[in-house]
Amino acid sequence: MAPEIDTEKLLRAARDWFLKIPGSVTAFSGGVDSALVLYLARQNLGKERAIGCISDSPSLKRRDLQEAKDFCRRYDIQLDIIHTQEIDDEAYYSNPFNRCYACKSHLYHDLSALLQKYPGFVATNGTNCDDLGDYRPGLQAASQAAVRSPLADCGMDKAAVRALAKSLQLPNWNKPASPCLSSRIPYGQSVTREKLNRIELAESVLARYGFEEARVRHYQNEARIEVPSESIAPLKAHMPKIVETFAAIGFPQTTLDQEGLVSGKLNRALPNDTK
């Protein structure tokens, strides 16, 4: 049985962390990690010193962008929307193993420019302790840009993040992980606006059937659906209609991955020395 998480202790640690800085600009994705950072900044620093920043890029789901806006309205947080251009960078669209490094480099470069509006503020992100043990090239970009990670600094892993977010009644405390749409495309296959749009449309179809936690992997002309193992049997009943709808979207072939949803599954293709 997992030990009980002391959320009051986590709150004190976060308060102490934020009170040591003059202000923050948080790279906000709409997910629970960065939402918690932004909320804690707002509570400890006040509205004028706790700024959110989200990149409205082709790899961000429209739904996630809207949820980010709604979150900031709910908690009276200033949200700056920027438009990063990683999709036009060969280091990104050619989809190498370190694509995430190129993406985050663009994000943090533009965020650094935004920081000029807020002298003395520091850039923050939603990295937690669990992320530090995963393959995440974006962490290198964060380090190079001097972006700080209050959750990791306060010793919070994903379980602690969700526990604290739940105790604070954040609306997305239990939101499934929603990595960028580019993560659905196997390494070495180009990332294009058309593919990202097709993936988003396909996943919205699954959501309409009640499968909110799902990935549609884009294998050339094939859509390969991943859902949690317990959702595989219920999804099979809808497959004939889903296959028909996906074909209209632009996937001539649609398959259901019998292994189920595995976060970061495409990372299995990484060379061992990269892992």
Active site residues: 180
**What is the spatial distance between Cα 220 and Cα 45, in angstroms, rounded to a whole number?**
47
Asked whether 203 and 178 are in contact (CB, 8 A), the reply is no
Tokens at residue 185, please? 């495309």
Asked whether 269 and 130 are in contact (CB, 8 A), the reply is no
DSSP assignment of 45-108 equals: H-GGGEEEEEE--TTS-HHHHHHHHHHHHHTT-EEEEE---GGG-HHHHT--TTHHHHHHHHHH
Residues whose CB is less than 8 angstroms from the CB of residue 251 and which lie 6 or more positions away in sequence, other chains included: 198, 202, 221, 222, 223
DSSP assignment of 158-217 equals: HHHHHHHHHHTT-TTTTPPP---GGGGS-TTSPP-HHHHHHHHHHHHHHHHTT--S-EEE
Residue 65: which region, alpha, beta or left (left: phi > 0; alpha: psi -120 to 50)? Answer: alpha
- Comparing CA positions, the residue from 148, 84, 103, 140 lying closest to residue 121 is 148
Tokens at residue 194, please? 């058309």
**What is the spatial distance between Cα 254 and Cα 178, in angstroms, rounded to a whole number?**
21
